[in-house]
Amino acid sequence: MNLKTFRADLHVHSCLSPCGEFEMTPVGIVAFALEIGLDIIAVCDHNSAANVPGIRKAALGTGLVVIAGMEVATAEEAHILALFDDIQAALALQKIVYDNLLPGENDDDLFGMQIVANELDEVEKIEQRLLIGSTMMDVDTVVREIHALGGLAIASHIDRQSNSLIGQLGMISDDLPLDAVEVSYSGDVDAMQVYPGVSRLPIIRSSDAHQLDALGRAITKFRLAEPTVVELRKALQATDGREISGWSVAS
């Protein structure tokens, strides 16, 4: 089977994330991702996958692959990326997350609006759940739920002091079955290797984009047979010739 290099940004927020800019609409994200030559993006809004359907539909026929994702906030206030091929699996995780969100409603003025949009950038809903907050699930539970639904679990931006496993806990437990860790565009990969539990895991780079001009500022290049989560898992495990072939980070 022929393998191909795919340029992937596996951590992109939309206008559903309260800290995401209004410009992060389905049409806007797809158009900009194509403009900068991305092959794969993963839409990973805070504690929700509600904008994945609109962005997937906006990408139909363009060649851009949109992976169904979510950035789940654990009880420890650490963020974990969940990536799925099956949008129904992402929405199943969304139900679990919604059932375990800390109580409260979003404050549009304080945190920003949470917009659910369709493929034409039409507003379908203003989400009122407090998506910026944490869930009541600890990190072990979150990873277990992601894996039970067939997804990949990746520790977000481990180089940051806030909302990361390293920042919150100072380490990654050897028995936590993560599939990878993410180092942000401004992070130092070598510096992260000194922390317990990091060296055993593959590392990806991604943008964590909340505005269009940040999209693709860090990407991971994968050698895959096709742009799927099944193939990404093989690349993270370096099996059957699939691999992480490099990173690209904007200066």
Position 243 scores a pLDDT of 98
Sequence spans of domains, the chain? 4-249
Single-letter code of the amino acid located at 96: I
pTM: 0.97
Those residues with Cβ within 8 angstroms of residue 146's Cβ, 6 or more apart along the chain or in another chain: 72, 80, 82, 93, 152, 153
| Residues in the chain, pLDDT under 70 | none
Of 116, 176, 115, 173, which is closest to residue 140 (Cα–Cα)? Answer: 176
Those residues with Cβ within 8 angstroms of residue 153's Cβ, 6 or more apart along the chain or in another chain: 80, 81, 82, 142, 143, 146, 147, 177, 178, 179
CATH fold of 4-249 reads: TIM Barrel (3.20.20)
Position 20 scores a pLDDT of 86
Q: For 191-208, write each residue's pLDDT tens digit.
A: 999 999 999 999 999 999
Q: For 63-114, write each residue's pLDDT tens digit.
A: 999 999 999 999 999 999 999 999 999 999 999 999 999 999 999 989 999 9
Q: How far apart are CA 80 and CA 107, in angstroms?
A: 24
